[in-house]
C-alpha cells in the first residue's frame, strides 16, 4: 500500500514538475512579449489581426482545457496501481460521448469559420482602409538585399527607409526585381509577398507616431538577415518636411542609377533620390511580364476582372 | 566534354573548417561501419541475410536503422542552428550565411525525407503484414527496391556534405531563388535529385502497402476489424499515391529549369514561381498527414494496450482517419495565404484547414476516453503517448490560429510558424515513431528495450521540447523571422538562449536513446521476449514469435473480431498447433534491389555533376537489372512442411519456458484475456 502511494506520489510529482516547467516557460515567455509587435500594435490593421488571434485562442480553450484536465485526471486516477478506480475493459463505445466529441469541435469550427470569413474580407490587404480618404501612394521594390520605396506623387525614392504621416492610410504597391520577398512592418500589420513580374498590395495605417522596424521575412539569400528598414510615422508637417529633405537629394534615380542600385548589395545605408525615372515601378514589372504591368497573382486577377 | 562533368578538386570541402569537419565525421562514420563489419567478420551475414533480403521484417529494420542515423544528422544540424542564433546578436556568430543556409536546408530535408519517411516505411514493413495475419507484403521485391532507392537518396544527402555544397534554398526550394540564375552550383541539384529518387521509392512503398492491405489480409480480417495502425498505413498509402506525383512533377520541372534552360518557374519568359509553390504544397500538405497518420496509429495501439482496455470509438477513429485523408488535399493554399490571393480564396482554404481540426480533435478525445476507466501501465511508449496528447493540442491551437488568414499575415515566416510545425511533428510524428520503436522493438529482435533509459529519454525529450520551442512562439510574436543568420534586436536574444538550453536537453534525450539501445543489447538476456507477446497485446503481430519466423504465420489465423489476438486468447485458441504443417512458398533473396539502389544513387550523383555518360550507364544498369529480374522465373523457393515444423517446434519449446503472461508481474496488471467475459 505504501509502495503504491509512493508510486502515485512520484507520478503526481513528476506531472506537476512537468507542468511547472511548461508554466514557467510560458511565464518567462510573457516578459517582453507584451511590447512585441504582435501584442502591442500601432495601427488598426495590426490591432484587428491581434484581436482575432485573442478571440480564436479564447474559443479554442473550450477544447484545450478539457484535454489538459482529462489527461492529468485520467493519468493519475486510472494508473494501474490504483485498485480503487473503476475498470471497464470492454467500454469502447458510448453514443453521448461520440456526439460530444464530434459536435463540440464542429461547433467551434463553425464559429471560427464565420469570424474567419468576416475578418479575412475586412483585413484583406488589398482593401483601401478608408474609401473617403485618398491614401498615400508608395511603391515598394524588393532588391537583393534592400527595399526601394518610391513615392510617385512626390517624385522621390528612398532606399531602406519608409516615412508616412500618422493617421493617413498608406497604399503600398509591391513587386520584386529579384527572388520572392515578403514585406512586413509588424507593428502596423501583416505581410504580403513581393514577386517579380507581378504586383501585390498592402494597405496600412499608423495611428501613433513612432519608429517601427520593417523587413523582408521571406528568405532570399545571404544578405537576407540584414534586409531591414525603419518606418517613421510622423505628423503631417514633419512628413512634408521629410519629403522636402528627400527632394534636396543630389542623386537622381534614372535608369542607369537604378541598374547599379539593383545589383546585389548588403547593409545599404538609407539613401534619398529625386527626381525618379517616370514609370519606374511599371517598367520593373514589365521587364518580367511582357509589359503586362497590371499582372497580379492568378486568383486575385480573376477576382478583379469579375 | 569532360568526363567528370563539373566536378573538380575544388568541390572538396577544404575551404572551411566547419565544412571539412562535417565531411570528416561523415567519412569516418562510413569507414567505422565498414571497419566494424569487417572486424566482426560479418560481411557474409550482411550480404546474404540483410542487404539482399526481401523479408519485410528485415527491410523494416534496415529502414529504421537508416532513420535513426539520419535523426542524428538532422539533430546535429538543429543544434548548430540553435547555437548560431543564440550567439549571433549583433555579430556574425560562428557560421557564415552560406553555411547557416545550407544547414537549415539540410535539417528540414533530412528530417522529412530521410528520417520521418524511412521511419514510417520501417514501422509499416515491420508490423503491417503481421497485424493483418499475412506472410508477406504484396510485392516483396519492389519493397527491396524502395528501401535501396530511399537509401540512395539519403546517401546523396550524406555525400553532399563531402563533395560540393548543399542547397541554401530551404527544404521547400522555392523558385526563383532555387533557380539557376540566383543559385547556381550543385546544391539545389543535390536536393532535387535526392528528393526525386526517394520520392519514387516512397510512391512504390505506397502502392505496395495499399495492395498488401487490400489483398493479403487473413481470413476473417475484414476492413473494420483492421487494427488502427494498419488503417492509418492504408490511408497513408492512398495519400502517398495521390500526393507524391505532384512532388515528382515539381522536382522534374525544376530540374529542367536548372539544367536544360526551361522556364517553368523563372522570373522571365513566362515562368511563374507560383506554379511550383502550388505543386509543392499540393504534395506538402498531404505529406504532413502521410507522416502523422501512422503515428496516430501507433498511439491508438499503445494507448489501448497499456490502458489494458479496448480502443474507445474505433469507428470514430477510422472515420476521422479517412476524413483527415480526404481533407488533406483541400488545404494546401494555407501555406501561402500571403501570396496575394483574394479574400474569397483565402477564406475557403482557411475554413477547410479549421475543419481538419475536427477529426483530429475527435481522435484526441477518443484516446483520452480509452484511458478512462482503464488500468494504465506507464511503459515508455505510453509515456510518449500521454506526452503527445498534452503537447499536441498546443500545436493544434497554434495551427488553428495560423489557419486564420489575417493572423497568418502577421505570423507567417516568423518562428511562430516554426514553433507550430515542430509542435505538430515532434510530439505528433517523432514521439509516435519512438513509441512505436520501443513498443515493437521486442517483436523485431526478441528482447525488450531498457525501460529506465526509455523513461529518461522521454522526460528529456518532452522537457527539452517545451524549453526549445515555447520561446520560438514568443519570438514569433516579437516578429523574429525564420532563417535568420544574425540579428540586431536585443529583445530576441534571451529567448534564443532559452531555446538553445532546450536543444541541449533534447541532446540528453538523444543520448538516452543511444544508451538505451546499448544497454538493452548488452543486457538482452534479462529482457528476453520468449512468448512473442511481451505487452499482453491485442492485435495479431503478437501472435508470432519474437522475432517472427520468415513466414510469420505457419498457419494463417482465423479472425473473428477486432483485437483479434486478444479475442483468440480469450477464447483459448491462441497458441494452438495444427495437426500438420504445409509447405510455404517464399520469395528468394536477391541483390537486384541493392543493384538498382546503388545504380540509382550513381545516376543521381552523375546527373548532379553533369557526368551524363555515367548517368546513362547507371540508367542502363537499372533497366538491365529489371529486365533480368523480370525474366527470372526462379525467384521463389519452398519451405517444406518439415522445415516449418522444425521452426515451430523450437518456438513452442521456447513458449513452454516463457512466463504465461509477461505483464503479469507488473504492479498495474489487470488480468489476462482468458478471465474476461465475452460481450
Cα dihedral angle (B29, B33, B39, B40), rounded to 10 degrees?
140
Tell me the count of A-B CB pairs closer than 8 A: 337
Please check the confidence at residue A304 and state whether its pLDDT lies above 80.
Answer: no
- What CA–CA distance (Å, rounded) separates B132 from B370? 22
* pLDDT for res A305: 45
Catalytic residue numbers of B read 63, 73, 77, 81, 104, 125, 136, 143, 146, 150, 202, 205, 212, 285, 287, 289, 300, 316, 360, 363, 420-422
Residues of A in contact with B411 (CB under 8 A): 38
A87 in contact with B, Cβ within 8 Å? yes
Which residues 6+ apart lie within 8 Å of B149 measured at CB? B197, B198, B200, B201, B204, B596, B597, B600
A70 within 8 A of B368, measured Cβ to Cβ: yes
Buried b (16+ CB within 10 A) or exposed e, B534-572: bbbbbbbbbbbbbbbbbbbbbebbebeebbbbbbbbbee
B93 in contact with A, Cβ within 8 Å? no
Longest CA span, chain A: 88
Please check the confidence at residue B480 and state whether its pLDDT lies above 60.
Answer: yes
Burial class (CB in 10 A: 0-12, 13-18, 19+), B520: buried
Band of residue A306 on the pLDDT scale cut at 50, 70, 90: very low
Which of B300, B479, B663 is the best residue to mutate to test the A interface, defined by the most A CB atoms within 10 Å of its own CB? B479
* pLDDT for res A7: 59
Burial class (CB in 10 A: 0-12, 13-18, 19+), B323: middle
A295 in contact with B, Cβ within 8 Å? no
Contact B484 A225 (CB under 8 A): yes
Higher pLDDT, B442 or B679: B442
pLDDT digits (tens, 9 = 90+) for B349-384: 999 999 999 999 999 999 999 999 999 999 999 999
Of B177, B313, B357, nearest to A93 by CB-CB distance is: B313
A68 in contact with B, Cβ within 8 Å? yes
**Residue labelled with grid coordinates 515493437:** B440
- What CA–CA distance (Å, rounded) separates B308 from B378? 11
Residues of B in contact with A125 (CB under 8 A): 340, 409
Which residue range is the domain that position B241 belongs to? 42-523+530-590+635-675
Which of A105, A128, A303 is the best residue to mutate to test the B interface, defined by the most B CB atoms within 10 Å of its own CB? A105
Going by C-alpha positions, the residue among B643, B179, B308, B361 that lies closest to residue A83 is B308
Contact B373 A189 (CB under 8 A): no
Residue of B nearest to A117 (CA): B347
How many separate helices (H) and strands (E) can be counted in chain B?
21, 2
Which residues 6+ apart lie within 8 Å of B424 measured at CB? B288, B292, B392, B395, B396, B399
B6 in contact with A, Cβ within 8 Å? no
DSSP A225: G
pLDDT digits (tens, 9 = 90+) for B60-119: 999 999 999 999 999 999 999 999 999 999 888 888 888 899 999 999 999 999 999 999
Residues of A in contact with B267 (CB under 8 A): 196-197, 288
For the domain that residue A292 is a member of, what is the CATH number? 2.60.40.420
Contact B368 A67 (CB under 8 A): yes
Residue A285 domain-assigned (yes or no): yes
The size of chain B, in residues, is 679
Going by C-alpha positions, the residue among B19, B421, B418, B412 that lies closest to residue B187 is B19
Contact B347 A117 (CB under 8 A): yes
- What CA–CA distance (Å, rounded) separates B673 from B359? 31
Please check the confidence at residue B270 and state whether its pLDDT lies above 60.
Answer: yes
B18 within 8 A of B99, measured Cβ to Cβ: yes
Residue B57 domain-assigned (yes or no): yes
Residue B423 domain-assigned (yes or no): yes
How many domains does chain A fold into?
1
Which residue range is the domain that position A253 belongs to? 136-305
Interface of B with A in 585-644 (CB under 8 A): none
A171 within 8 A of A134, measured Cβ to Cβ: no
The size of chain A, in residues, is 306
- What CA–CA distance (Å, rounded) separates A195 from A179? 7
**What cell was used for B139?**
510485392
How many separate helices (H) and strands (E) can be counted in chain A?
7, 11
Strand partners, A228: A215
Residue of B nearest to A46 (CA): B410
Residue of B nearest to A298 (CA): B341
A149 within 8 A of A184, measured Cβ to Cβ: no
Residues of A in contact with B308 (CB under 8 A): 80, 87, 89
Mean of pLDDT values over A20-39: 64
Band of residue A40 on the pLDDT scale cut at 50, 70, 90: confident
Strand partners, A172: A138, A202
- What CA–CA distance (Å, rounded) separates B340 from B450? 53
Residue B281 domain-assigned (yes or no): yes
pLDDT digits (tens, 9 = 90+) for A224-262: 999 999 999 999 999 999 999 999 988 999 989 999 999
B254 within 8 A of B80, measured Cβ to Cβ: no
- What CA–CA distance (Å, rounded) separates B239 from B206? 8
Interface of B with A in 352-411 (CB under 8 A): 354-355, 357-358, 361-362, 364-366, 368-369, 371-378, 386, 389-390, 393-394, 396-397, 400-401, 403-411
B489 in contact with A, Cβ within 8 Å? yes
Contact A200 B668 (CB under 8 A): no
Which residues 6+ apart lie within 8 Å of A7 measured at CB? A79, A81, B667
Q: Cα separations (Å) of B278 from B282, B334, B351?
A: 6, 10, 18
Residue B572 domain-assigned (yes or no): yes
Interface of A with B in 102-161 (CB under 8 A): 102, 105-106, 109, 112-113, 115-117, 119-127
Interface of B with A in 403-422 (CB under 8 A): 403-414
Residue of A nearest to B370 (CA): A92
> What number of other Cβ atoms are within 10 A of residue B607's Cβ?
23
Going by C-alpha positions, the residue among A162, A170, A148, A183 that lies closest to residue A232 is A162
Interface of B with A in 249-278 (CB under 8 A): 267-268, 270, 272-274
Mean of pLDDT values over B424-446: 95
Residue B319 domain-assigned (yes or no): yes
Contact A56 B668 (CB under 8 A): no
ipTM: 0.88
Minimal Cα–Cα distance from B319 to chain A, Å? Answer: 11
Residue A276 domain-assigned (yes or no): yes
Residue of B nearest to A222 (CA): B97
Please check the confidence at residue B632 and state whether its pLDDT lies above 90.
Answer: no
Please check the confidence at residue A1 and state whether its pLDDT lies above 50.
Answer: no
- 3-class DSSP string for A177-219: CCCCEEEEECCCEEEEEECCCCCEEEEECCCCCEEEEEEECCC
User: Strands across the sheet with A271-273, in order?
Assistant: A200-204, A170-176, A136-143, A146-151, A156-159, A271-273
Mean of pLDDT values over A135-149: 94
Residues of A in contact with B173 (CB under 8 A): none
Interface of B with A in 560-579 (CB under 8 A): none
Of A79, A112, A127, nearest to B668 by CB-CB distance is: A79
User: Residue A265, CB half-sphere, CA atoms under 13 Å: how many?
Assistant: 15
Going by C-alpha positions, the residue among A32, A288, A207, A221 that lies closest to residue B271 is A288
B301 in contact with A, Cβ within 8 Å? no
Please check the confidence at residue B141 and state whether its pLDDT lies above 60.
Answer: yes
Burial class (CB in 10 A: 0-12, 13-18, 19+), B67: buried
Minimal Cα–Cα distance from B64 to chain A, Å? Answer: 30
Minimal Cα–Cα distance from A109 to chain B, Å? Answer: 6
Q: pTM of this prediction?
A: 0.92
- What CA–CA distance (Å, rounded) separates A217 from B412? 8
**What cell was used for B148?**
535501396
pLDDT digits (tens, 9 = 90+) for B15-29: 788 888 888 888 998
Q: Return phi, psi of residue B139, to 5°.
A: -130, 85
Q: Which of A178-187, A240-249, B200-209, B574-583 shows the lowest per-residue confidence on average (mean pLDDT)?
A: B574-583
Of B368, B473, B478, nearest to A71 by CB-CB distance is: B368
* pLDDT for res B161: 86
Contact B410 A78 (CB under 8 A): no
Residue of A nearest to B493 (CA): A32
B66 within 8 A of B110, measured Cβ to Cβ: no
pLDDT digits (tens, 9 = 90+) for B329-341: 999 999 999 998 8
Residue A108 domain-assigned (yes or no): no
Residue A22 domain-assigned (yes or no): no
Minimal Cα–Cα distance from B276 to chain A, Å? Answer: 12
Minimal Cα–Cα distance from A133 to chain B, Å? Answer: 22
For the domain that residue B423 is a member of, what is the CATH number? 1.20.210.10
Residue B21 domain-assigned (yes or no): no
Contact B338 A192 (CB under 8 A): yes
Please check the confidence at residue A303 and state whether its pLDDT lies above 60.
Answer: no
Residue A73 domain-assigned (yes or no): no
Band of residue A20 on the pLDDT scale cut at 50, 70, 90: low
Residue B35 domain-assigned (yes or no): no
Q: Cα separations (Å) of B469 from B84, B197, B423, B461, B487?
A: 16, 32, 7, 12, 19
Burial class (CB in 10 A: 0-12, 13-18, 19+), A266: middle
Residue B308 domain-assigned (yes or no): yes
Which of A191, A216, A227 is the best residue to mutate to test the B interface, defined by the most B CB atoms within 10 Å of its own CB? A191
Q: Which of A62-66, B452-456, B463-467 shows the lowest per-residue confidence on average (mean pLDDT)?
A: A62-66
pLDDT digits (tens, 9 = 90+) for B540-591: 999 999 899 999 999 999 999 999 999 998 888 888 888 889 999 999 999 9
How many domains does chain B fold into?
1
Amino acid at each position: 500500500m505504501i509502495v503504491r502511494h509512493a508510486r502515485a506520489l512520484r507520478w503526481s510529482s513528476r506531472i506537476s514538475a512537468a507542468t511547472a516547467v511548461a508554466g514557467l516557460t510560458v511565464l518567462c515567455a510573457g516578459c517582453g512579449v507584451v511590447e512585441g509587435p504582435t501584442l502591442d500594435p500601432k495601427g488598426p490593421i495590426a490591432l484587428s489581426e491581434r484581436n482575432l488571434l485573442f478571440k480564436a485562442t479564447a474559443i479554442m480553450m473550450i477544447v484545450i482545457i478539457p484535454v489538459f484536465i482529462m489527461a492529468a485526471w485520467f493519468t493519475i486516477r486510472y494508473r494501474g496501481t490504483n485498485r480503487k478506480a473503476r475498470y471497464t475493459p470492454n467500454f469502447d463505445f458510448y453514443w453521448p460521448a461520440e456526439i460530444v466529441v464530434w459536435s463540440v469541435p464542429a461547433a467551434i469550427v463553425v464559429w471560427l469559420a464565420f469570424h474567419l470569413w468576416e475578418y479575412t474580407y475586412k483585413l484583406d490587404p488589398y482593401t483601401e482602409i478608408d474609401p473617403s480618404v485618398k491614401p498615400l501612394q508608395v511603391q515598394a521594390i524588393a532588391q537583393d538585399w534592400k527595399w526601394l520605396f518610391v513615392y510617385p506623387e512626390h517624385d522621390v525614392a528612398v532606399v531602406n527607409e519608409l516615412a508616412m504621416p500618422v493617421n493617413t492610410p498608406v497604399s503600398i504597391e509591391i513587386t520584386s526585381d529579384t527572388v520572392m520577398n515578403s514585406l512586413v512592418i509588424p507593428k502596423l500589420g501583416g505581410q504580403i509577398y513581393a514577386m517579380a513580374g507581378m504586383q501585390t498590395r498592402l494597405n496600412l495605417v499608423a495611428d501613433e507616431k513612432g519608429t517601427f522596424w520593417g523587413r523582408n521575412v521571406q528568405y532570399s539569400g545571404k544578405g537576407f538577415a540584414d534586409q531591414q528598414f525603419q518606418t517613421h510615422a510622423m505628423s503631417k508637417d514633419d512628413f512634408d518636411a521629410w519629403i522636402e529633405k528627400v527632394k534636396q537629394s543630389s542623386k537622381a534615380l534614372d535608369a542607369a542609377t537604378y541598374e547599379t542600385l539593383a545589383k546585389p548589395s548588403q547593409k545599404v545605408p538609407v539613401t534619398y533620390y529625386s527626381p525618379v525615372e517616370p514609370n519606374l515601378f511599371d517598367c520593373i514589372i514589365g521587364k518580367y511580364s511582357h509589359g503586362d504591368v497590371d499582372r497580379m497573382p492568378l486568383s486575385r486577377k480573376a477576382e478583379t476582372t469579375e | 566534354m569532360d568526363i567528370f562533368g563539373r566536378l573538380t578538386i575544388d568541390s572538396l570541402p577544404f575551404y572551411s573548417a566547419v565544412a571539412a569537419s562535417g565531411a570528416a565525421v561523415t567519412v569516418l562514420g562510413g569507414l567505422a561501419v565498414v571497419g566494424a563489419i569487417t572486424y566482426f567478420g560479418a560481411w557474409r551475414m550482411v550480404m546474404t541475410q540483410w542487404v539482399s533480403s526481401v523479408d519485410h521484417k528485415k527491410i523494416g529494420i534496415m529502414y529504421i536503422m537508416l532513420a535513426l542515423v539520419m535523426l542524428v544528422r538532422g539533430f546535429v544540424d538543429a543544434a548548430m542552428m540553435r547555437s548560431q542564433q543564440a550567439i549571433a546578436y549583433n555579430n556574425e556568430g560562428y557560421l557564415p550565411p552560406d553555411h547557416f543556409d545550407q544547414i537549415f536546408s539540410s535539417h528540414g530535408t533530412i528530417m522529412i525525407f530521410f528520417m520521418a519517411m524511412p521511419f514510417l516505411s520501417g514501422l509499416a514493413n515491420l508490423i503491417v503484414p503481421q497485424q493483418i495475419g499475412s506472410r508477406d507484403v504484396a510485392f516483396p521485391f519492389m519493397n527491396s527496391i524502395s528501401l535501396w532507392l530511399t537509401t540512395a537518396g539519403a546517401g546523396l544527402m550524406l555525400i553532399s556534405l563531402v563533395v560540393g555544397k548543399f542547397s541554401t534554398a530551404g527544404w521547400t526550394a522555392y523558385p526563383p531563388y532555387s533557380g539557376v540564375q540566383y543559385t547556381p552550383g550543385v546544391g539545389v541539384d543535390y536536393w532535387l535529385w535526392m528528393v526525386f529518387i526517394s520520392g519514387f521509392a516512397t510512391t512504390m512503398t505506397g502502392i505496395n502497402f495499399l495492395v498488401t492491405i487490400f489483398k493479403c489480409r487473413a481470413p476473417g480480417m475484414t476492413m473494420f476489424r483492421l487494427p488502427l495502425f494498419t488503417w492509418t498505413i492504408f490511408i497513408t498509402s492512398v495519400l502517398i499515391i495521390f500526393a507524391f506525383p505532384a512532388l515528382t512533377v515539381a522536382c522534374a520541372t525544376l530540374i529542367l529549369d536548372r539544367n536544360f534552360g526551361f522556364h517553368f518557374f523563372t522570373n522571365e519568359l513566362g515562368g511563374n514561381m507560383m506554379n511550383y509553390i502550388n505543386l509543392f504544397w499540393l504534395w506538402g500538405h498531404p505529406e504532413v498527414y502521410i507522416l502523422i497518420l501512422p503515428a496516430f496509429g501507433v498511439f491508438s495501439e499503445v494507448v489501448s494496450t497499456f490502458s489494458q482496455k479496448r480502443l474507445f470509438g474505433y469507428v470514430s477513429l477510422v472515420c476521422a482517419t479517412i476524413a483527415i485523408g480526404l481533407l488533406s488535399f483541400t488545404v494546401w493554399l494555407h501555406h501561402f495565404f500571403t501570396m496575394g490571393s483574394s479574400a474569397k480564396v483565402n477564406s475557403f482554404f482557411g475554413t477547410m484547414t479549421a475543419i481538419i481540426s475536427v477529426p483530429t480533435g475527435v481522435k484526441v478525445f477518443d484516446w483520452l476516453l480509452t484511458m478512462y476507466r482503464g488500468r494504465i501501465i506507464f511503459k515508455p511508449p505510453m509515456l510518449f503517448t500521454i506526452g503527445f496528447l498534452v503537447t499536441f493540442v498546443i500545436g493544434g491551437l497554434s495551427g488553428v490560429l495560423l489557419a486564420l488568414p489575417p493572423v497568418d499575415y502577421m505570423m507567417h515566416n516568423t518562428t511562430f510558424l516554426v514553433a507550430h510545425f515542430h509542435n505538430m511533428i515532434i510530439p505528433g510524428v517523432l514521439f509516435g515513431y519512438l513509441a512505436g520503436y520501443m513498443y515493437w522493438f521486442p517483436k523485431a529482435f526478441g528482447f525488450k528495450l531498457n525501460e529506465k533509459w526509455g523513461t529518461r529519454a522521454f522526460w528529456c525529450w518532452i522537457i527539452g521540447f517545451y524549453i526549445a520551442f515555447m520561446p520560438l512562439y514568443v519570438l514569433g510574436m516579437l516578429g523574429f523571422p525564420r532563417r535568420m543568420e544574425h540579428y540586431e534586436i536585443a529583445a530576441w536574444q534571451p529567448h534564443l538562449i532559452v531555446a538553445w538550453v532546450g536543444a541541449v536537453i533534447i541532446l540528453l534525450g538523444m543520448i538516452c536513446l543511444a544508451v538505451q539501445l546499448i544497454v538493452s543489447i548488452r543486457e538482452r538476456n534479462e529482457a528476453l521476449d520468449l512468448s512473442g507477446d511481451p505487452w499482453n497485446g491485442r492485435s495479431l503481430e503478437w501472435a508470432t514469435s519474437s522475432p517472427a519466423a520468415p513466414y510469420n504465420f505457419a498457419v494463417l489465423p482465423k479472425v473473428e473480431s477486432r483485437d483479434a489476438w486478444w479475442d483468440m486468447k480469450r477464447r483459448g485458441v491462441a497458441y494452438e498447433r495444427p495437426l500438420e504443417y504445409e509447405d510455404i512458398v517464399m520469395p528468394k533473396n536477391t541483390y537486384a534491389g541493392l543493384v538498382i539502389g546503388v545504380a540509382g544513387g550513381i545516376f543521381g550523383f552523375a546527373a548532379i555533376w553533369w557526368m551524363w555518360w555515367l548517368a546513362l550507364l547507371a540508367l542502363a544498369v537499372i533497366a538491365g537489372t529489371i529486365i533480368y529480374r523480370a525474366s527470372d522465373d526462379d525467384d521463389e523457393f519452398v519451405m517444406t512442411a518439415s522445415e516449418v515444423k522444425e521452426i515451430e517446434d523450437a518456438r513452442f519449446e521456447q513458449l513452454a519456458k516463457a512466463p504465461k503472461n509477461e505483464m503479469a508481474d507488473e504492479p498495474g496488471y489487470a488480468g489476462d484475456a482468458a478471465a474476461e467475459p465475452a460481450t
